[in-house]
Amino acid sequence: MARVADVLVGSLAAAGIRQLFGVTGDSLNGVTDAIRGGRGIEWVHVRHEEAAAFAAGALAQVTQQLAACAGSCGPGNLHLINGLYDAHRSRAPVLALAAQIPSPEIGREFFQETRPERVFRDCSYYQGMVSRPEDLAPVLEEAVRVATGRRGVAVVILPGDVALASAVGAPPRLAPATPPAPPVPPPEELERLTDLLNGARRVTILAGSGCAGARTELLELAARLRAPIVHTLRAKERLEFDNPFDVGMTGLIGFSSGYHAMMDADLLLMLGTDFPYRQFYPEHARKVQVDLDPAHLGRRTALDLGVVGEVGATLRAVLPRLRGKEEGAHLDASLAHYRRARASLDALAEGTPGRVPIHPQHVVRLLDELAAGDAIFTCDVGLPTVWAARYLRMNGERRLLGSFWHGSMANALPQAIGASYAEPHRTVVSLSGDGGLTMLLGELLTLVQADRPVKVIVFNNGVLGFVELEQMASGLLPAAVELKNPDLAALARAAGLFAVRAERPEELRPRMIELLAHPGPALLDVPVSHQELVMPPSIDRAELKGFGLWFVKAVLSGRGDEIVDLAHVNLFR
């Protein structure tokens, strides 16, 4: 007779799940045994459950379909939490299987006991317990509906003894839920929106990930309003390419053209974005925000109008009402500023033969040139995200994934593992910081064991670079950020990967060609300069004072060698 675990695995396979990422344990033995029995799902044995959740989240983001991960009872499913936070905040439909201690022992402070229904509450929409075999169908059905319908995480809690019990009743009928039809604002709000847009002289659009699927309408709107488009990081892959109105990003990793396009506007139109940094919003412009979630409206900056609606549906309704603007001085000035800022960025990415250490900008510019047109890139939080945002060119086929909202270290490699299962023929490249890579270093072994052809490029600067910059901006001498790394290429070879190291600019191109041409998992270790002062497009007095204090402290303490060569500062005005 079929066990609960057999029915669970068979139902997930029938619903389209092809991989279950996790680390096994006694409370998951029923599940892994059911998978071993050949039910159409592959168990992907990662080395840490956090990596399992990151991998599932990345797979879901690339395919836009449900993905799954699992953790054994207690510490095993607790390790899922960080990756699940990232998936949930990225709106990735993920089903997390959290195994539990034997059901008779729940509530008795048994070995490894936790309360998953409480633990996962803040990083999932649903937490359902399968207390008895007959609970499997309703719990699993609801979990799948919630994860797919609300685009987030749902957790199924399954005690190990229940997984091994005989199944009862009809198997689950798993039907992914269709999200509700996109709402269109009521006529009176469309009228107010129209009046504000028609009455403004200098409109700037801040476009976020909520503009996915509305690219055509967005470009028509920008043309009608003669408005520059500032895109957020999460919108880069969809809005940056072939966009004659794009003026880059603003924010901590943006540069000056995006910042000034917003500051010089008399009306800022925010579309599908919850951009969090208050200091980068204009103070004197009128502000209008369109978002599906009413909770997002006005929580970052005061609004003159907040509109609940899907971006595409809203723009289709408002475009016929708009008068075209003839005056284009604001757009022209913003585009000219963008061309200057872009030229400054590109100049910093030129490789200088013989100059060591290599500049990280040059690494990513070369990768952009050599990588396939449909490559999938993942980037670690911190400086790898900066270089990816500034130097990887999107084209409508490439993808860029990162921990852009949750901001976790060590995300790039496990996300690359997950993405590699989405479309195996596509090149997947992880832009890993040395801090991020070594935090989940065991996942190099996953690459070998699972035979995933992921390419890992390590920015080896021997420091937690972005944290160091934050300390300097606060007027502090860098502390507790140094990383004493081994030869990471040699370490990767010992793990079974093809690995090379490029220490000089003239070595970089042939080594990267080798990396990308290798058919299996491969790693390129690049010692790069950590003296790359990434400055935001605007510095307030506190930050300016902080950098001044750091400068004085460095000199007085005999650490003047830490002062950055200002000829290579990433500052764009």
Q: Supply the residues annotated as catalytic.
A: 49, 111-112, 381, 466
Closest CA to 43 of 82, 73, 12: 12
How far is the C-alpha of 122 from the C-alpha of 113, rounded, in Å? 19
Of 400, 425, 401, 432, nearest to 497 by C-alpha is 432
Query: Distance (Å, rounded) from C-alpha 490 to C-alpha 470?
Result: 31
Instruction: State the Cα–Cα distance between residues 235 and 131, nearest whole angstrom.
Output: 42
Residues 7 and 571: their CA atoms lie apart, in Å, by 58
Contact 67, 92 (CB under 8 A): yes
CA distance 440 to 461: 17
Instruction: Tell me how far apart the alpha carbons of residues 306 and 294 are, in angstroms, rounded to a whole number.
Output: 8
Is the dihedral angle over the CA atoms 265, 267, 271, 276 positive or is it negative? positive
Sign of the CA dihedral running 59, 237, 235, 233: positive
284 Cβ contact partners less than 8 Å away, ≥ 6 residues apart: none
- Look up residue 373 and give its two tokens: 């047109």
Residue 518 CA to residue 509 CA, distance in Å, equals 14
* CA atoms lying within 13 Å on the CB side of residue 151: 11
* Contact by Cβ (8 Å): 160, 27: yes
Contacts of 251 (CB under 8 A, 6+ apart): 232, 233, 258, 275, 277, 280, 536
Residues in the chain: 573
CA atoms of 34 and 119, how far apart (whole Å): 27
The sign of the dihedral angle between the CA atoms of 357, 362, 364, 368 is: negative
Tell me the two tokens of residue 367.
């990768």
Tokens of 344: 């400054």
How far apart CA 98 and CA 106 sit, in angstroms, is 14
Spatial contact of 250 and 280, defined as CB atoms under 8 Å apart: yes
Closest CA to 214 of 312, 323, 121: 312
